[in-house]
A = this chain, B = another copy of it.
Amino acid sequence: MVSEKMHTLGTKKSTIRTIFEYGKKRAAEVGAENVYDFSIGNPNVPAPEVVKTAIIDILNTVDTCELHGYTIAPGLPQVRETIAASINRRFGTNFAGKNLFMTSGAAAAITICFKALHEDGADDEFITFAPYFPEYGCFVESVGSKLSVVPANTEDFQIQFDKLEEMLSPKTKAVIINSPNNPSGVVYSEATIKKLAGMLSAKEKEFGHPIFIISDEPYRELVYGGLTVPYVAKYYQNTLVCYSWSKSLSLPGERIGYIVVPDEVADFGRVYGAIAGAARVLTHVNASSLFQRVVARCVDEPSNIAAYEHNGNLLYNGLIEAGFTCQKPQGAFYLFPKALEDDDRAFCKKAMEYDLLLVPGSDFGCPGYFRAAYCIKESTIRNALPVFKKLAAEYK
């Protein structure tokens, strides 16, 4: 009667969602202050005041019919020019408005790329790297293709290149990278990006067709300790950049982002055209006309990274002191420490007994680890630290 697959996708709760809902229930029982919920990656830093100012100013100055009217499918030309100019200033690129396609967020952006690149009925595939955002699998499969996952490099959460090389094949349409990474909190180094670009270029020649990098960058602005995030499109020609203001301006509910298709991609016109077609059939043309204008006005607004950096360091130092091993916070708002037993699901269950709500690494294709989101109240982290110590003591 209905699609079995869609029914399953719509009713099977993710572990994250289940933990989050448990947390709400538990908070009602024992008090919110006694539940340490590290499960959800929802920005806790409010959108900067300039967002509100921009909305009100736009409402007061733009003709109402024009403001809320249809824009052309890829988005307002002036908005795209403004965003391109900002990217150019910051990363030394050379984009124009015509290189951008506005989308309702990064999930839409990457799914449009999958749909644009996958050839109906073809036995092609996309490759990503553990640990990874599990929705990638749903999105890739729903366009009819297949997602293959390179196992995690748990040394430093860069890339296991020997494994990647084995997996690259003539079927490979694209590799998806996400740096700063959800869930590892790690930023791919310039060396990693260069090596990746070199390997893919060589494979492109070997196979005689392009292999795209889909660079999923919603966390690009959230980096700490003076790190910089290499702008992937500068290192590799066939890069499609997927961006969202969900994290950088704390606007996840407003669904606003873009795809960049650089001039340098193999046959720009065909790629951009396929992206436009995919956006059309996925009914993602014309991202919110108000929020297109809002982000254009806020395009150079710095993200409030100080709060996240403070939280990240607080949690990191506390976990290290409690005996955990973990990468230093580099970007995004997650830590991805090693679980204190091999079975990360059992470990997270144990942590739950202490009202520490953590997400098993298995959910991100990386067993033996757990994710702790630190986009939460500082006091929650502070109060959780002694509890982490107690939990660790149980494993000693």
Please indicate the chain B residues that have their CB under 8 angstroms from the CB of A119 in the complex.
2-4
A393 within 8 A of B: no
Instruction: Check A10 against B288 for contact (C-beta < 8 Å).
Output: no
A205 within 8 A of B: no
Bound Cα distance A226, B133 (Å):
53
Bound Cα distance A36, B117 (Å):
40
Query: A1-B210, A120-B3, A277-B7 in contact; A283/B68 too (CB < 8 A)?
Result: no
Please indicate the chain B residues that have their CB under 8 angstroms from the CB of A348 in the complex.
none
Bound Cα distance A141, B288 (Å):
25
Bound Cα distance A44, B70 (Å):
11
Please indicate the chain B residues that have their CB under 8 angstroms from the CB of A276 in the complex.
9-11
A59 to chain B, nearest CB (A): 5
Bound Cα distance A276, B5 (Å):
11
Interface positions of A from 42 to 97, Cβ below 8 Å from B? 42-47, 51-52, 55-56, 59, 63-65, 67-71
A134 to chain B, nearest CB (A): 12
Please indicate the chain B residues that have their CB under 8 angstroms from the CB of A59 in the complex.
52, 55-56
Interface positions of A from 129 to 175, Cβ below 8 Å from B? 135, 138-139, 141-142
Instruction: Check A270 against B64 for contact (C-beta < 8 Å).
Output: no
A273 within 8 A of B: yes
Q: Which residue of B lies closest to A251 (CB)?
A: B68
Please indicate the chain B residues that have their CB under 8 angstroms from the CB of A68 in the complex.
46-47, 51, 250-254
Instruction: Check B6 against A277 for contact (C-beta < 8 Å).
Output: yes
Chain A contact surface mostly: helix
Instruction: Check A115 against B3 for contact (C-beta < 8 Å).
Output: yes
Bound Cα distance A363, B55 (Å):
38
Instruction: Check A283 against B2 for contact (C-beta < 8 Å).
Output: no
Please indicate the chain B residues that have their CB under 8 angstroms from the CB of A253 in the complex.
67-71, 286, 288-290
The 7 closest A-B pairs by CB, nearest first: A253-B289, A10-B277, A10-B276, A9-B277, A6-B277, A142-B281, A2-B274
Known A-B contacts: A3-B118, A135-B280, A253-B289. Give 13 more (CB < 8 A). Answer: A1-B210, A2-B119, A6-B278, A10-B272, A10-B277, A10-B280, A42-B70, A46-B64, A68-B251, A69-B250, A253-B286, A288-B288, A288-B291
Listed A/B pairs (15) with beta-carbon separation below 8 Å: A2-B270, A2-B273, A3-B274, A3-B277, A7-B277, A10-B116, A42-B69, A42-B70, A43-B69, A47-B65, A65-B250, A68-B253, A111-B283, A138-B281, A142-B282
